[in-house]
Amino acid sequence: MIHGPGEPVMSEPDAFLQAQTQAREDSGLPSLRLLNTGQDAFLARAALIETAHQRIDAQYYIWNDDATGRYLASRLVAAAQRGVSVRLLLDDINVAGKESLFALLDAHPGIEVRIFNPSRSRDGLGRWLSFITDFDRINRRMHNKTFVVDGLAGIAGGRNIGDEYFDQHPNLNFRDRDVLVLGALAGDMTRNFEAYWGSAWTLPLERLYTKSESGEADFAAFRKRVESETYNAPLPYSRDVARTYLETLFSGLISAPAELVFDAPPENPEAPANEPQRTAEALYQLVENAGSEILIESAYLILTDEQLQALSQRRSGELDVAALTNSLATNDLVTNHSGYARWRRAMLEQGIELHELRPDAPACQRWVAAQEACKGGEVSLHSKAVVFDRETLFIGSFNVNLRSIYLNGETILVIRSPELAAAVADDIRYAMAPENSWQVVLNDRDELVWHQGAQTIPHEPEVGFWRRAMSRVLSWLPIEKYL
């Protein structure tokens, strides 16, 4: 049965999630767990959908129309069928080509889809021209990624929704991180969601596309298509299976002081974006208070004069800064790599230790649950985390680059847990090992070289001449703020 708009939905949170939350409230601290593999991140979201009783709020920069994207979408429909209120909030920049999936979801009376900061033209050449004519506004994107069930359990981090984020892609998988939380922090994620959901720059899907007339037959056909697909792990189709999985996951929760910080949507996206946003200010404060070590893991890494000058002032003492990012061979966007390449020498001259991920990194076997994908494919870095003194963890959707500092809406968690901070720090250092990454240094002739153990490579490794040339030419352009 499909519940109509006027029919009551379940008004009380599910007893299972309530009990799990109450059991951990005595400590007075948030309960958290890292979701390090894409498979765990996928199954956690799927299981939470099955236990949802009242509402699901999902906010994403990208939701792909692929196997995992369709599976989670189908379970949102199933949740809405049993009376759960579902709200899906998407950034417009990646909606094109997936409209039919979102229209199907929006056709269900229990599901509402909204789009943040949409372009005025919806397809064809006009859509791309709007990126030029509306340049300032279009560059303000909702990069936040949160998933909240019944206001009690939430997931925030770096992952979008798609096969490559969930260890399901046969050739390319992302190394990424999320944090699962129970309790008050999930409520903070809801406030993050509401800020964008109610923004004047967020529009209902039906305002942008013709309302779909999909009905029971369409939902049944969609469900049948999803059930015919194969996945790399048993999926929690039933509430009992979901609860069993979540009980195991929740048993690994850690209590620690933590806070959620998010950037509010811009009141006027066309206004100049020249001031660091809330999440950037939180990062700056942590840098200011760092004692001995900062470890950075960022898919896209761009530090320019302002940030490097601040680091220079901090490095007057014994502060070591090391960063892991993508190599040109693993970066999914040559443009973004070119912005990093433009400032790479300056970062090295500042004393920052730089490591670039190798596409054949054996660390893939630890990070990606689908082992076959590691043997025949590649791994790319998509995670975003900074560890301070192995005591504090800054983690979420924030890349350490100018776009996250000034333009994007981001959501991060600041977790003061030596246990979680050390775990991420150890993993970053493992990824920096010679078998997993190339270290970039300046040699005695002041030239950039890449070290692979005892081997020295004079140019960016594992890529052809034209890709290197494209990156080099783009690096001459002062466009790093928009990458």
- Does residue 9 lie in a domain region? no
Instruction: Yes or no: say if 56 and 86 are a contact pair by the CB < 8 Å rule.
Output: yes
Please indicate, yes or no, whether residues 243 and 309 belong to a single structural domain of this protein: no
Please indicate, yes or no, whether residues 222 and 335 belong to a single structural domain of this protein: no
Residue 315's pLDDT is 62
- Does residue 267 lie in a domain region? no
Please indicate, yes or no, whether residues 233 and 281 belong to a single structural domain of this protein: no
Q: Per-residue DSSP letters for 324-374?
A: EEE-TTT-S-HHHHHHHHHHHHHHHHTT-EEEEE-TT-TTHHHH-S-HHHH
The Cα–Cα gap between 383 and 295 comes to 13
Please indicate, yes or no, whether residues 244 and 320 belong to a single structural domain of this protein: no
- Does residue 269 lie in a domain region? no
Please indicate, yes or no, whether residues 396 and 469 belong to a single structural domain of this protein: yes
Please indicate, yes or no, whether residues 218 and 303 belong to a single structural domain of this protein: no
Residue 2 has pLDDT above 50, yes or no: no
Instruction: Yes or no: say if 197 and 403 are a contact pair by the CB < 8 Å rule.
Output: no
Please indicate, yes or no, whether residues 411 and 359 belong to a single structural domain of this protein: yes
Instruction: Yes or no: say if 41 and 176 are a contact pair by the CB < 8 Å rule.
Output: yes
In the chain, the number of structural domains is 2
**Of 186, 217, 250, which residue is a domain's last?**
250
- Does residue 10 lie in a domain region? no
**Of 250, 283, 307, which residue is a domain's last?**
250
- Does residue 8 lie in a domain region? no
Question: Bigger pLDDT: 228 or 120?
Answer: 228
pTM for this entry: 0.94
Residue 5's pLDDT is 32
Which pLDDT tens digit goes with each residue over 74-111? 999 999 999 999 999 999 999 999 999 999 999 999 99
Which pLDDT tens digit goes with each residue over 146-186? 999 999 999 999 999 999 999 999 888 999 999 999 999 99
Q: Can you tell me the mean pLDDT for 9-33?
A: 77
* C-alpha closest to that of 410 among 218, 279, 313: 279
Residue 9's pLDDT is 42
- Does residue 189 lie in a domain region? yes
Residue 358 domain boundaries? 275-482
Please indicate, yes or no, whether residues 225 and 172 belong to a single structural domain of this protein: yes
Residue 110's pLDDT is 96
Please indicate, yes or no, whether residues 238 and 192 belong to a single structural domain of this protein: yes
One-letter amino acid for residue 457 of the chain: I
Question: Bigger pLDDT: 25 or 267?
Answer: 267
Which pLDDT tens digit goes with each residue over 369-409? 877 778 877 899 999 999 999 999 999 999 999 999 999 99
Residue 14's pLDDT is 60
Please indicate, yes or no, whether residues 464 and 400 belong to a single structural domain of this protein: yes
Which residue intervals of 228-350 are DSSP H helices? 239-250, 278-289, 305-314, 334-349
Q: Which residue bears the tokens 């200010």?
A: 281
Which pLDDT tens digit goes with each residue over 267-311? 999 898 999 999 999 999 999 999 999 999 999 999 999 899 888
Residue 41's pLDDT is 97
The pairs formed by 124-132 with CB atoms below 8 angstroms and a separation of 24 or more are 127/96
- Minimum mean pLDDT among 9-23, 129-143, 228-242, 258-272: which range? 9-23
Instruction: Yes or no: say if 222 and 104 are a contact pair by the CB < 8 Å rule.
Output: yes
Residue 15 has pLDDT above 60, yes or no: yes
- What's the CATH number where 373 sits? 3.30.870.10
Distances (CA, A) of 390 to 190, 261, 319, 348, 421: 29, 20, 13, 23, 5
Structure tokens, 21: 């939350």
Please indicate, yes or no, whether residues 244 and 290 belong to a single structural domain of this protein: no
Residue 376's pLDDT is 72
Residue 255: pLDDT band with limits 50, 70, 90: very high
β-pairing, 146-149 with 153-157?
Answer: antiparallel
Supply the residues annotated as catalytic.
143, 145, 150, 382, 384, 389
Residue 19's pLDDT is 86
One-letter amino acid for residue 149 of the chain: V
Distances (CA, A) of 123 to 89, 99, 207, 276: 20, 11, 15, 33
- Minimum mean pLDDT among 124-133, 415-424, 447-456: which range? 124-133
* C-alpha closest to that of 330 among 378, 362, 285, 278: 378
- Does residue 6 lie in a domain region? no
Please indicate, yes or no, whether residues 343 and 222 belong to a single structural domain of this protein: no
Helix or strand holding residue 182 (H, E): strand 178-182
